[in-house]
């Protein structure tokens, strides 16, 4: 009679043990990152896929704008449910953003070893500037360095929404610092957490400054000019002068050739052309003025009367002066 109940209890314990083993094998909390599926973030860091899934859901649900994000704790019952779903590789819908933020901190806190444990505490305590913190962070192994960079950029995203979520760099660094290291002595861990907080705070400030500088560089990049395939322009002449000179060059070719003296070389065509144009304009002006005077003074006389001898001699003298001036120009050349 007693054998059956004892056998049933044995089977029940075995079932619970098997379920516990399956949960431990499938757990994404408290295990090393080497045993987890990893993916690359936007900065090229190889981090566990479950972190990227929680981060994406946190951003999609407006977690960065939630007041007190990463500071306010969610209900324990909801956190246990979401933890079980995450262990199965599923991020359920309708999660409280504070629950997601708390699970991200719990993931770091439950690692077999803290992210910063490979760095001697003395090095972290000696950091006095952002450059010191960046130099010490480079001493981390690749896996821990990738996790730290991912976490710092997450904290920087939170700080960028400080006006809405009321979480500045100090507040975010304060809530993350206890999760980045593990120490057996609670008093030592508390004292060291203050140094880690300052360390994370300076890394956040450096990240934000680097982002601002990167944005300024993107804005100040020169735009390519469409006139050159390689984006370069001729430094010898302004762009507005090049089309003008290009249009001036063929003007000497398109005009009708002008007769020039055999003593002058063909290179003197422009000067001769200029002189000839001046002569023609003066002759036309003289003829127009003569015709206007004839129209006023020659009442009843025919409009086809020829030019007087004095006027002809005046025109000849003007032309001779122009020709002599042209000869002086040519002699000076």
CATH number, position 183: 1.10.555.10
Higher pLDDT, 9 or 177: 177
> For residue 42, is it within any domain?
yes
Mean pLDDT (whole number) for 49-61: 96
Confidence of residue 237 (pLDDT cuts 50, 70, 90): very low
Ranked by mean pLDDT, which of 35-39, 162-166, 296-300 comes out on top?
162-166
Is the pLDDT reported for residue 106 higher than 90?
yes
Query: Are the beta carbons of 172 and 164 closer than 8 angstroms?
Result: no
The Cα 308–Cα 310 span in angstroms is 5
For residue 260, the SS3 value is coil
**83 vs 272: which has the higher pLDDT:** 83
Instruction: Assess if residue 185 is contained within a domain.
Output: yes
* pLDDT value of position 94: 87
HSE, side-chain direction, 13 A CA sphere, residue 259: 0
The pTM (predicted TM-score) of the whole model is 0.60
Please give the Cα distance from 33 to 326 (Å, whole number). 94
In a domain, 52, yes or no: yes
Instruction: Output the DSSP codes for 202-215.
Output: HHHHHHHHHHHHHH
Q: Which two three-digit tokens encode residue 188?
A: 């030592």
How much is the mean pLDDT over the chain?
A: 74
Q: Is residue 268 part of a domain?
A: no
Asked if residue 294 lies in contact with residue 303, where contact means CB atoms within 8 angstroms, the answer is yes
pLDDT at res. 217: 81
Contact at 8 Å (CB) between 143 and 151? no
Q: Give the pLDDT confidence score for residue 280 in this predicted structure.
A: 56
Residue 17 included in any domain: no
Residue 103 has pLDDT above 90, yes or no: yes
Lowest mean pLDDT among 23-32, 90-99, 188-197: 23-32
Taking the chain, what is the end-to-end CA distance rounded to the nearest angstrom?
137
Q: How far is CA 164 from the centre of its chain?
A: 25
Q: What's the confidence (pLDDT) of residue 285?
A: 52
Residue 102 has pLDDT above 90, yes or no: yes
Report the range of poorest mean pLDDT among 164-173, 225-234, 280-289: 225-234
Using an 8 Å Cβ cutoff, are 288 and 309 in contact?
no
Q: Is the residue at 126 inside a domain? A: yes
Residue 167 in tokens: 């979480």
Band (pLDDT 50/70/90 cuts) for residue 198 is very high
pLDDT over 50 at 134, yes or no: yes
Distance CA 333, CA 330 (A): 5
Beta-bridge partner residues of 46: 40
User: What does the CA dihedral 36, 42, 44, 45 come to, rounded to 10 degrees?
Assistant: -40
Is 158 a domain residue? yes
Residue 205 belongs to what domain range? 30-214
Lowest mean pLDDT among 8-12, 62-66, 131-135, 207-211: 8-12
Structural domain contains residue 312:
no
Question: How many domains are there within the chain?
Answer: 1
Backbone angles phi, psi at 140, to 5 degrees: -70, 150
């Amino acid at each position: 009679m007693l054998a059956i109940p004892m056998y049933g209890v044995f089977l029940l314990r075995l079932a619970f043990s098997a379920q516990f083993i399956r949960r431990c094998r499938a757990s994404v909390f408290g295990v090393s990152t080497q045993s987890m599926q990893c993916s690359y973030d936007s900065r090229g860091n190889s981090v566990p896929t479950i972190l990227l899934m929680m981060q994406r859901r946190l951003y999609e649900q407006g977690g960065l704008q939630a007041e007190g994000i990463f500071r306010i704790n969610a209900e324990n019952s909801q956190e246990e449910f979401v933890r079980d779903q995450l262990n199965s590789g599923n991020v359920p819908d309708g999660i409280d953003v504070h629950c997601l933020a708390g699970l991200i901190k719990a993931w770091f806190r439950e690692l077999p070893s803290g992210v910063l444990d490979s760095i001697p505490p003395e090095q972290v305590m000696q950091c006095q500037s952002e450059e010191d913190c960046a130099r010490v962070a480079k001493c981390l192994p690749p896996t821990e360095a990738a996790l730290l960079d991912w976490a710092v950029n997450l904290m920087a995203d939170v700080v960028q929404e400080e006006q809405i979520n009321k979480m500045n760099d100090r507040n975010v660094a304060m809530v993350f610092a206890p999760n980045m290291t593990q120490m057996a002595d609670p008093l030592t861990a508390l004292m060291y957490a203050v140094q880690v907080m300052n360390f994370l705070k300076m890394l956040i400030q450096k990240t934000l400054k680097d982002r601002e500088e990167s944005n300024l560089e993107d804005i100040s990049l020169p735009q390519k000019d469409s006139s050159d395939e390689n984006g370069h322009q001729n430094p010898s002449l302004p762009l507005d002068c090049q089309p003008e000179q290009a249009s001036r060059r063929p003007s000497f070719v398109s005009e009708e050739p002008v007769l020039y003296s055999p003593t002058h070389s063909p290179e003197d065509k422009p000067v001769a052309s200029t002189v000839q144009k001046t002569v023609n304009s003066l002759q036309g002006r003289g003829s127009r003025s003569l015709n206007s005077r004839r129209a006023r003074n020659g009442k009843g006389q025919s409009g086809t009367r020829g030019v007087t001898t004095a006027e002809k001699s005046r025109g000849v003298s003007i032309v001779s002066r122009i020709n002599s001036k042209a000869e002086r120009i040519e002699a000076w050349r």
